[in-house]
Structures are given as structure tokens and as C-alpha cells.
């Protein structure tokens, strides 16, 4: 139901845009579309996280991000060849198709369990995942956790309010939010939104060519292909391995591009625009293997069911705030520090975010949502705790 309600403002926005006759109508249309864009980005990750099995969850979450980039590329191409009213009419078609598809979806098993509808939750879970030993175990753990929580939480309205406020100090709420804070910073400092927005200024400073639309197309294609390929990589590689190897490699390539631009600006080396442009192309290819897709995918994995509503709301706010800050400060940075200085600063912040995530972010590949929730509650996965206890018992037995 939530997803259905999220689609409606965007569809209305496109209709308003098509029939708009003044700037106020266009702004209203963009506001409506922004509501859908922001909410479905977060809610889509939650739906995939709750519907899909741990084995396929990472790939599906990445494919969602890749689909977003492919859609952005198609809209840019349509906008180049067609009138904007025509583009608005064309892009309304996917909204109608998605609306019809979403009407056939069952409610999430996790949501049903959190609302004490355990029989329905079990039925939907088997419909989505099948009935295997692994799925039986995951379902049992989820239902037991919800039953235990609901026995504790028979609270009055005042007690419920106090309980809601207290969650902001709980480890299993604070740690996912901190993880997502640095993930959101990482996402925005990759330059994924900055480069297309300020392509004219950036490209003209590097090469003197202001035909930014072609560079925008090239960037869109690079990003879409990289994000799609990353869906395969995330299927065969661990999340942390992919994130940190490609992340730090991207920082090195970015520093090389900035270093070249700086030396060329001081006439210490010949100024060949193809070199920094090629390095930037390589950088965006590498960074979209993990640093851009994984932060968007984490929304569907790291927030425990108890805090999922509040956590994902905060995640949406963090993405919005970091996006606004980077987009609004970039013109000042470009004016003051030029392209090489701006991307050097972004690269430093990006590296700092990666370092923090290295020490905080758990490996979520093939982990159930309940296992990830256990990690944020205890700082370790359940089998690690059991292993440590067994090791302690063996050590005690060895002591004479």
C-alpha cells in the first residue's frame, strides 16, 4: 500500500507538468515528482530487502540502482530529441505499468509479522522464497524475534512515546544510522550528482569545450554500464571487499586526475585535456562498481525491523541533506579552488568515509536481515559469539 501511495504524486506531477502554463505549475510538478523519487528510492530498497533471499538480495538491490541510472540515461536522451511535454507524457507510461504491478504485490512478511499477522506472514514468506531448510530457519527467527518484542511492548500511548524516544539511544538504532551517515557522505562525494549538474563549468575548465550534453551522455552510459556490471560483481564478491578495493582505487585515480590538472595549470606539464577526461571517465566507471550503488542498497539491509520506519526516514533525510550540501557548495568550491581543488576535497572526504565504514560496516553478503540485526545489537554475528563461547569452554577445560 505504501508503494502505491508513493507512485501517485509522481504521476500527478507528470500530468501537471504536461499541462503547465507557468513556472509555478512546473515547480509544483517537480515537488510532486520529488516526493515520489525520494520515497521510492528508500522504500524500493526496503521492499527488495524484505522480499528477496539473502543469496540474491545484494544483486537485486544493485539492479535497482542500475535501473535508476539506465532510466536517467534514457530521460536525458529523450530530452535531447523531444519536447519536454512529450518527455513528460512518455515517462508517465512506466508509472502506470509499475502502479498495475504493485497492485499485485503481497504485503511484506516482515511487516505482517510486526503487526502480529503471523499466519499470513508465513504464507507470504513461502510464496516469495519457497519452503527450504534455510527459509524455514529465517522465518522462524523472524517470527520468534517479533513475538518476543511484542510480549515486551504492551505499552500505553505515553509509554509508546517514551519508548520511541529511547530508541535514539539504542545501539541497534545508532550504529546503522552512523553507518548510513558515512554511506550517504560517500555517495555524494563520489560526484555522481555534481558532475552532471555542473558539467558546463567543469568541462569548460578542463578542455574549453562547452558541449556538455555529449559528456553527460557519455557519463550516463559509463555509470549505467558500471552499475549493471556491479550487480554481477556483488553476486560473486563480498560487499566489503568490493566496496573498499574499488573505493580506494577510485580515490587514487581521482587524485591522479586532480594532480594532472594542477600541474598543467602551473605549466609544469603539457595540457592535454584528453588525459584528465579519460581519468575522470575511469574514475566514474570504478566508483560506480560499489561506492555509488552500495550506499543506496544498504537501506534495505542494515535497519532492524523495530527501527525500520524511523531508520529509513532518517536515511532519506541524510541523503537529501548531503545532496543539497554538495550541490550548493560546489559552485563556491569550483570558483575558489578550481576543478582540481574541488575534487581533491571531495576525494579526501570520500577516503575518510571509507575509513570509517571499514571499521563499522559489517559484511552483509548472504546474511539474513535477522542476522544483521543481531550484529548491530551485539557487535558480532551470532556464530562468532557461539564460537567465542566454545573457545572459552575449551580453554577452561584445558586449565588443570
* Residue 395 within any structural domain of the chain: no
Question: Are the beta carbons of 325 and 181 closer than 8 angstroms?
Answer: no
- Here the CATH number for the domain that contains residue 360 is 1.20.1250.20
- Hey, how many other C-beta atoms are within 10 angstroms of the C-beta on 323? 17
- Give dist(CA 168, CA 186) in Å, integer: 23
Same domain, 99 and 72: yes
C-alpha cell at 134: 534455510
Are 294 and 339 contained in the same domain? Answer: yes
182: nearest Cα among 15, 360, 362: 360
What's the pTM value of the predicted model, to 2 decimals?
0.86
* Amino acid 38: pLDDT: 82
Nearest to 183 by CA among 70, 103, 294: 294
Q: Is residue 160 included in any domain, yes or no?
A: no
Does 306 reside within a domain? yes
DSSP state of 105: P
Do 241 and 302 sit in the same domain of this protein? yes
The enclosing H or E element of 127 equals helix 118-129
Residue 340: what pLDDT?
A: 94
Cβ pair 343, 258 in contact under 8 A: yes
- Domain identity same for 120 and 195: no
> For residue 161, is it within any domain?
no
pLDDT at 193: 84
pLDDT of residue 291: 92
Q: Report whether 376 contacts 172 (CB < 8 A).
A: yes
86 plus 230 within the same structural domain: yes
Q: Do residues 149 and 204 share a domain?
A: no
Q: Report angle CA 364, 53, 239 to the nearest 5 degrees.
A: 25
Same domain as 135, residue 174: no
Domain assignment present for 164? no
Same domain, residue pair 259 and 329? yes
Give, in order, the Cα–Cα distances in Å from 149 to each of 114, 116, 316. 9, 11, 26
- Domains contained in the chain, number: 2
**Domain co-membership, 123 together with 91:** no
What residue numbers bound the domain in which 136 lies? 110-153
Residue 344 lies in a domain: yes
Q: Are 27 and 7 found together in one domain?
A: yes
Separation of alpha carbons 8 and 35, rounded Å: 10
Q: Which portions of the chain are predicted below pLDDT 70? A: 1, 150-160, 163-164, 210-212, 384-400
Cα separation, 201 vs 205, in Å, equals 6
What pLDDT sits at residue 155? 59
Whether 36 maps to a domain, the answer reads: yes
The answer to the question of residue 336 being in a domain is: yes
- What distance in Å separates the CA atoms of residue 340 and residue 346, rounded to the nearest whole number? 10
Q: What is the phi/psi pair of residue 383, to 5°?
A: -65, -30
Identify the pLDDT of residue 395. Answer: 46
Cα(178)–Cα(184) distance, integer angstroms? 10
User: What is the chain's percent helix, strand, coil content, to nearest 5?
Assistant: 85, 0, 15
91 and 125: one domain? Answer: no
Q: Are 116 and 11 within one domain?
A: no
Amino acid at each position: 500500500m505504501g508503494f502505491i501511495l508513493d507512485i501517485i504524486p509522481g504521476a500527478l506531477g507528470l500530468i501537471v507538468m504536461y499541462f503547465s502554463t507557468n513556472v509555478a505549475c512546473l515547480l509544483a510538478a517537480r515537488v510532486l515528482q520529488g516526493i515520489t523519487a525520494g520515497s521510492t528510492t528508500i522504500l524500493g530498497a526496503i521492499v527488495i530487502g524484505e522480499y528477496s533471499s539473502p543469496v540474491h538480495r545484494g544483486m537485486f538491490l544493485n539492479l535497482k540502482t542500475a535501473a535508476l541510472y539506465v532510466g536517467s540515461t534514457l530521460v536525458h536522451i529523450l530530452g535531447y530529441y523531444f519536447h519536454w511535454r512529450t518527455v513528460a507524457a512518455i515517462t508517465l507510461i512506466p508509472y502506470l505499468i509499475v502502479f498495475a504491478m504493485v497492485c499485485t504485490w503481497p504485503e511484506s512478511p516482515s511487516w505482517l509479522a510486526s503487526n502480529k499477522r503471523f499466519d499470513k506472514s508465513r504464507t507470504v514468506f513461502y510464496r516469495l522464497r519457497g519452503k527450504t531448510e534455510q527459509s524455514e530457519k529465517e522465518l522462524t527467527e523472524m517470527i520468534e524475534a517479533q513475538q518476543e518484542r511484542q510480549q515486551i511492548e504492551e505499552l500505553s500511548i505515553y509509554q509508546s512515546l517514551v519508548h520511541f524516544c529511547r530508541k535514539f539511544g539504542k545501539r541497534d538504532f545508532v550504529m546503522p544510522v552512523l553507518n548510513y551517515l558515512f554511506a550517504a557522505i560517500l555517495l555524494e562525494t563520489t560526484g555522481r550528482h555534481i558532475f552532471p549538474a555542473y558539467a558546463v563549468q567543469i568541462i569548460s575548465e578542463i578542455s574549453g569545450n562547452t558541449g556538455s550534453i555529449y559528456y553527460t551522455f557519455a557519463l550516463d552510459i559509463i555509470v549505467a554500464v558500471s552499475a549493471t556490471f556491479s550487480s554481477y560483481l556483488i553476486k560473486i564478491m563480498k560487499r566489503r571487499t568490493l566496496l573498499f578495493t574499488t573505493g580506494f582505487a577510485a580515490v587514487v585515480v581521482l587524485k591522479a586526475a586532480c594532480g594532472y590538472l594542477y600541474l598543467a595549470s602551473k605549466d609544469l606539464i603539457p595540457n592535454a585535456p584528453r588525459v584528465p577526461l579519460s581519468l575522470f571517465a575511469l574514475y566514474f566507471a570504478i566508483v560506480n562498481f560499489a561506492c555509488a550503488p552500495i550506499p543506496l542498497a544498504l537501506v534495505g539491509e542494515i535497519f532492524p525491523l523495530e527501527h525500520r520506519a524511523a531508520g529509513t526516514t532518517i536515511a532519506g533525510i541524510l541523503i537529501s541533506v548531503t545532496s543539497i550540501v554538495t550541490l550548493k557548495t560546489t559552485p563556491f568550491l569550483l570558483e575558489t579552488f578550481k576543478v582540481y581543488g574541488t575534487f581533491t576535497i571531495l576525494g579526501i572526504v570520500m577516503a575518510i568515509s571509507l575509513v570509517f565504514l571499514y571499521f563499522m560496516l559489517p559484511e552483509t553478503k548472504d546474511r539474513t536481515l535477522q542476522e544483521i540485526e543481531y550484529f548491530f545489537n551485539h557487535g558480532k554475528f551470532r556464530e562468532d559469539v557461539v564460537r567465542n563461547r566454545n573457545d572459552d569452554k575449551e580453554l577452561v577445560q584445558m586449565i588443570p
